[in-house]
């Protein structure tokens, strides 16, 4: 375990467009990341994950890559990136970057060539299929962005597959030449010094070669956690369009290739119909991904049943693998607003999510602004830029509202995010200003400083960082589990509720000591815990 830095690590996700702008164009950049890395390091995290900064027409804000080897000028240059890596390493931070291997932009030179004919050198690099006899798409597969996952191309007189926007054609990873090109891209960035990759939508890399229809979701089937009910994709069981068994063979192949570079890490994003089980099946020690994270907590209200169900699903499959938990990211409504939108003290929810995510068995990935307890921003329809939010408005509110600029300085223009005299790419949310970094720095009891204290404690506690987990029977609103490593044990108890609750600690844990400095909104008297809303209590045995 000594060299497995990723096991039990805490990763900080940076969304470059919204982190910090240093050239006054209203869009964050690599220079902005460099300027704020001391803040990230002060949290005590082990690594950063940077969302895409590659050349792109930005139809999906960088997840539509047109050149995997180039930094988009919007964010800076390759020299800026090399400086970023150097500065991060000096601060003791590992660097993970996003890789989008399942699809490219339709402006990528590969796709431009592929669509020209049936027999060019890139003809099989994308997923093409003939129409049915009546001219309709080859099957019923649907896109995450709504509607069919197929778009007609008049040049080839075929349909091409896209799991997201029509401007994001799916790469054909069944093609050996595509796999070899992905390995060249992998080599390029690893040789530049990155410590690994976060692999976007890794569950959608391969597909059923027979192109069979997906069956409908049956009554009583649990809803998927990676798409809202307003998305028609939620009505299908995606047995053939993604999450196919052969995906595991591909994951193992890329892991074997990355193993040639010591101490690197692959973090897979895994969705689908049962994201916890899929994520857990994608990780095994020595093969497959080092880490995978799912949408179980990111897409839920984090009730007691959500929490215990996610833990049980992972532990049922994980074997000797390692999961990465997350309660926020750039695709979902922020946890402070998602858990209980009408509850009056969002900082309590921020601390609740922090303590939960950082005490589960696995690593943890936190999203920028989570350490400030930021709410979901309310973005006016006229200010929306994300095609997904626009398509599903107003039923779905997620991506733009969690991507608004970071508030650094309460009394500076644009809360210190940018010095532009014009508009920022998304507006700074007024209610975020009071949560700015400079204000919380001065408040010893702020959410920011609570994050620092909790991460510091986690680092000193092997039971939390790398230990086992065991769920404990508890009342309907209380989630409880035991973390153990060798002789060390930590009892973790959460009131996942807006009401006051009481619970008596089971007799087998009577010798455990209450850790008051880490617990929040919990009082213990003669073994009975009284919780305020979203309170939590930790007990330890050494």
| Highest mean pLDDT pick, 10-19, 281-290, 311-320 | 10-19
- DSSP secondary structure string, 136-159? --SS--B-TTSSBSEEEETTTTEE
Query: Does the pLDDT of residue 3 top 70, yes or no?
Result: yes
Q: For residue 200, indicate whether it is catalytic.
A: yes
Beta-bridge partners for 524: 529
Average pLDDT over residues 174-193: 98
The DSSP output letter for 499 is S
Q: Nearest CA to 208 among 170, 169, 252?
A: 170
Confidence of residue 519 (pLDDT cuts 50, 70, 90): very high
Distances (CA, A) of 194 to 48, 178, 267: 10, 22, 13
For the stretch 317-364, pLDDT in tens is 998 899 999 999 999 999 999 998 788 899 999 999 999 999 999 999
Say how far apart CA 503 and CA 528 lie, in whole Å: 6
Q: What is the pLDDT of residue 223?
A: 86
Q: pLDDT of 18-35, one tens digit each?
A: 999 999 999 999 999 999
Number of neighbouring beta carbons within 10 Å of residue 248: 15
Residue with tokens 């049943």: 305
Handedness of CA 247, 252, 255, 256 (dihedral sign): negative
Asked whether the beta carbons of 322 and 7 are under 8 A apart, the reply is yes
The alpha carbon of 228 is separated from its chain's Cα centroid by a whole number of angstroms, namely 16
Q: Would you call 269 a catalytic residue per the annotation? A: yes
Return the HEC string of 74-121: CCCCHHHHHHHHHHHHHCCCEEEEEECCCECCCCCHHHHHHCCCCCCC
Report d(CA 43, CA 526) in Å as an integer.
35
Give the separation between CA 268 and CA 251, rounded to whole angstroms.
9
d(CA 539, CA 87): 38
State pTM to two decimals: 0.97
3-class SS of residue 388: helix
Q: Exactly one of 200, 273, 274, 371 is catalytic; name it.
A: 200
pLDDT digits (tens, 9 = 90+) for 370-428: 999 999 999 999 999 998 888 878 876 679 999 999 999 999 999 999 999 999 999 99
Average pLDDT over residues 88-93: 98
Task: Provide the pLDDT for residue 344.
Answer: 85
Class of domain 468-541: mainly beta
Q: Which two tokens stand for residue 29?
A: 């950049």
Question: What does the mean pLDDT of the chain come to?
Answer: 95
Q: Which of 131-145, 273-287, 519-533 has the lowest mean pLDDT?
A: 273-287
1 pLDDT band, cuts 50/70/90, is: low
Query: pLDDT at residue 230 above 90?
Result: no
Catalytic residue among 269, 273, 462, 501: 269
pLDDT at 2: 55
Which DSSP state fits 216? B
Q: Which residues, at least 6 apart from 498, have a Cβ–Cβ distance to it below 8 Å?
A: 340, 343, 533, 534
For the stretch 361-384, pLDDT in tens is: 999 999 999 999 999 999 999 999
Rounded Cα gap, residues 277 and 321, in angstroms: 12
Query: 418: burial class by Cβ within 10 Å (0-12, 13-18, 19+)?
Result: buried
Statement: residue 39 has pLDDT above 70: yes
DSSP state of 236: B
- Pairing state between β 265-269 and 196-199: parallel
Rounded Cα distance between 168 and 107, Å, is 9
Mean pLDDT of 191-207: 97
Please tell me the distance from the alpha carbon of residue 211 to that of residue 129, in angstroms, as a whole number: 9
CA torsion sign, 122 to 125 to 130 to 135?
negative
What pLDDT is stored for residue 384 in this prediction?
A: 94
The answer to whether residue 275 scores a pLDDT higher than 90 is: no
237 pLDDT above the threshold of 90 = yes
**Using CA of residue 296, residue 300, residue 304, residue 309, what is the dihedral sign?**
negative
Position 162 scores a pLDDT of 98
Please provide the DSSP assignment of 286-354 as one string.
TEEBSEEE-STTTTS---HHHHHHHHHHHHHH-TT--BEEES--TTS--HHHHS-TT-S-HHHHHHHHH
What is the widest separation between alpha-carbon atoms in the chain? 78
β-bridge mates for residue 13, sequence order:
49, 367
**H or E element, residue 510:** none
Pseudo-torsion of CA 181, 184, 186, 190, nearest 10°?
-170
CA-based radius of gyration for the chain = 23
pLDDT score of 537:
98
CA distance 481 to 497: 17
């Amino acid at each position: 375990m000594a060299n497995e830095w990723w096991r039990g690590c805490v990763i900080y996700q940076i969304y470059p467009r919204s982190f910090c702008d240093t050239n006054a164009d209203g869009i964050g950049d690599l220079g902005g990341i460099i300027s704020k890395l001391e803040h990230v390091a002060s949290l005590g995290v082990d690594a950063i994950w940077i969302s895409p900064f590659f050349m792109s027409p930005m139809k999906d804000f960088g997840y539509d890559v047109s050149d995997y080897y180039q930094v988009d000028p919007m964010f800076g240059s390759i020299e800026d990136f090399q400086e970023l890596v150097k500065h991060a390493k000096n601060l003791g931070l590992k660097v993970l970057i996003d890789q989008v291997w399942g699809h490219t932009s339709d402006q990528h030179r590969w796709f431009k060539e592929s669509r020209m004919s049936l027999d060019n050198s890139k003809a099989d690099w994308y997923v093409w299929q003939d129409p049915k006899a009546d001219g309709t798409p080859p099957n019923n597969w649907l896109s995450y962005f709504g509607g069919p996952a197929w778009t007609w191309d008049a040049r080839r007189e075929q349909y091409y597959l896209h799991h997201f926007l029509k401007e994001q054609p799916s790469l054909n990873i069944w093609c050996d030449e595509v796999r070899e090109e992905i390995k060249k891209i992998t080599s390029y960035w690893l040789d530049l010094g990155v410590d690994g990759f976060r692999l976007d939508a890794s569950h959608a890399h391969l597909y059923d070669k027979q192109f069979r229809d997906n069956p409908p979701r049956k009554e009583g089937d649990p809803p998927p956690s990676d798409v809202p009910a307003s998305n028609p994709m939620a009505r299908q069981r995606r047995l053939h369009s993604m999450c196919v068994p052969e995906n595991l063979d591909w994951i193992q192949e890329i892991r074997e290739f990355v193993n040639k570079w010591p101490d690197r890490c692959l973090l897979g994003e895994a969705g689908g119909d049962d994201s916890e089980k899929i994520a857990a099946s994608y990780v095994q020690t020595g093969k497959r991904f080092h880490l995978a994270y799912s949408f179980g907590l990111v897409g839920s209200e984090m009730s007691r049943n959500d929490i215990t169900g996610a833990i049980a699903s992972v532990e049922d499959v994980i074997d000797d693998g390692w999961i990465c938990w997350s309660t926020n990211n750039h695709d979902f409504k922020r946890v402070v607003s998602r858990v209980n939108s009408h509850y009056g003290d969002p900082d309590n929810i921020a601390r609740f999510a922090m303590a939960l995510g950082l005490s589960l068995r696995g690593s943890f990935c936190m999203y920028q602004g989570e350490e400030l307890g930021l709410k979901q921003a309310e973005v006016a329809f006229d200010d929306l830029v994300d095609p997904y939010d626009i398509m599903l408005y107003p039923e779905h509110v997620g991506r733009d509202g969690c991507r608004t600029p970071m508030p650094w300085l309460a009394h500076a223009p644009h809360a210190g995010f940018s010095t532009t005299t014009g508009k920022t790419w998304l507006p700074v949310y007024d209610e975020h200003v009071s949560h700015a970094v400079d204000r919380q720095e001065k408040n010893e009891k702020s959410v920011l400083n609570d994050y620092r204290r909790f991460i510091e404690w986690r680092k000193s506690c092997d039971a939390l960082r790398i230990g086992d987990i065991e769920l404990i029977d508890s009342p309907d609103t209380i989630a409880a589990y035991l973390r153990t490593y060798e002789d060390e044990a930590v009892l973790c108890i959460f009131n996942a509720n807006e009401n006051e609750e009481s619970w008596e600690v089971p007799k087998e844990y009577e010798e455990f000591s209450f850790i008051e400095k880490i617990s929040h909104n919990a009082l213990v008297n003669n073994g009975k815990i009284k919780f305020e809303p979203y309170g939590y209590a930790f007990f330890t045995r050494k």
